[in-house]
Amino acid sequence: MSGRLLLRRARLLDPLQQLDMRGDLLVEDGRVTALGPDLVSGPGIETVECDGACVAPGIIDMRVQFRDPGAEHQESMESAGLAAAAGGVTTMVALPNTYPPIDDVALVEFVARRSRDIRLVNIRTYAAATKGLEGRELSEYGLLAAAGAVGFTDADRAIADAQVMRRALSYARTFDLLLIQHPEEPSLAAGGAMNEGEVATRLGLPGISPAAELIMVERDLRLMEVTGARLHFAHVSTGAAIDAIRQAKSRGLPVSCDTAPHYFALNENEVGEYRTFAKVSPPLRSEDDRRAVVAGLADGTIDAIASDHSPHDQDAKRLPFTSAASGIVGLETLLPLSLALYHNRDVSLLAVLRALTLRPAEILRLPAGRLAAGAPADLIIFDLNRPWLIDSAAYRSKSKNAPYDGRPVQGMAVRTIVGGRTVFTRES
């Protein structure tokens, strides 16, 4: 908590209210208390002159991998918190694929305790959908949810067994909990290294069929209809899968999905001459699929944008392409890469912010993602048009595995506020 803070002469943006106006915003004791034109300052109020910069709800990144506990040399909660704050992220949700996996109450409580101790951004966590992430025996959903888990997932592993998935959905439905699936049929993806197609053939790399994503999505949509549970598909990357989700939504199924910036900012050609920094799971897709992801964001089929932050050290990436680890770090580039959708006139500014803030909050049932009076003062101030070049060497993350070096972008977080307390300010 903090005292009183007045943000003056800002462009206030709130996707919940479809608000885009010039004005001021007042924070008291960690919450938004008023917004509007020409709010009056007074003694004891810290004033921040925004000079037209944008003020929006802080980003809620619903897919972040830590290596803490287990491999803190790649990324700790503290280093991830520093990176998140610099990127305008005020809430991170951790995947449970740590060592050991987050599949018991003590580890969920450990994450909450570390978040309080670090005092940077809010850190929440998913719990493992199956014990040990092994895809066989279900975790104790009720106890884990009561301890603070916001959803259940086997992280970057699909729940492959249809009977296990049906039981997981039924169990989640009993407690009205969210299940998150990595949509990739493992037997079709086994041994693959990049997207199946002409580029993979030319490079002589084993391909992963886009059908692996579609088949898993369609299977689980059918299981949703049987169970009535809430299901979220992570990092969708193919036009066919997006179409299937679009149709399911039209039938009223409680399905949601997210994507990551690399699926609308890059395509399979980024692999180039075996660039392992462009190796992700699911793989970068064709240009047609990239455009389908943009279209899915534009029409709202894709609910959210998550960084899919996946830190790896040099030893894991400086390997032959087929042996290298999959993943890109993305906390510090989530905002500017997403704002490119607006600058390219593909998606409106409020729709981009909706995918970064409001929809993740709604899906995870978090009391955030809005500027309304009474809401938590988790805020970002950003310069919408500030140009800069991405430099991974300057990342605050411990790991630097990203393919964006030298990429020109527009838009930068200049101040991040969590609970009314400034946790990051960028020097001009």
Tell me if residue 346 is catalytic: no
- Give, in order, the Cα–Cα distances in Å from 230 to each of 43, 65, 318: 48, 22, 39
Q: Are 416 and 426 in contact (CB under 8 A)?
A: no
Q: Are 368 and 31 in contact (CB under 8 A)?
A: no
Q: Are 400 and 392 in contact (CB under 8 A)?
A: yes
Please tell me which residue in 308, 346, 383, 405 is annotated as part of the active site: 308
Handedness of CA 305, 64, 110, 28 (dihedral sign): negative
CA 56 to chain centre: 17
Cβ neighbours of residue 394 under 8 Å, at least 6 residues apart?
A: none
Q: Write out the DSSP string of 277-297.
A: GG--SSPP--HHHHHHHHHHH
Q: Are 94 and 103 in contact (CB under 8 A)?
A: no
| CA atoms of 25 and 355, how far apart (whole Å) | 22
The amino acid at 88? G
Give the residue numbers marked as catalytic: 308
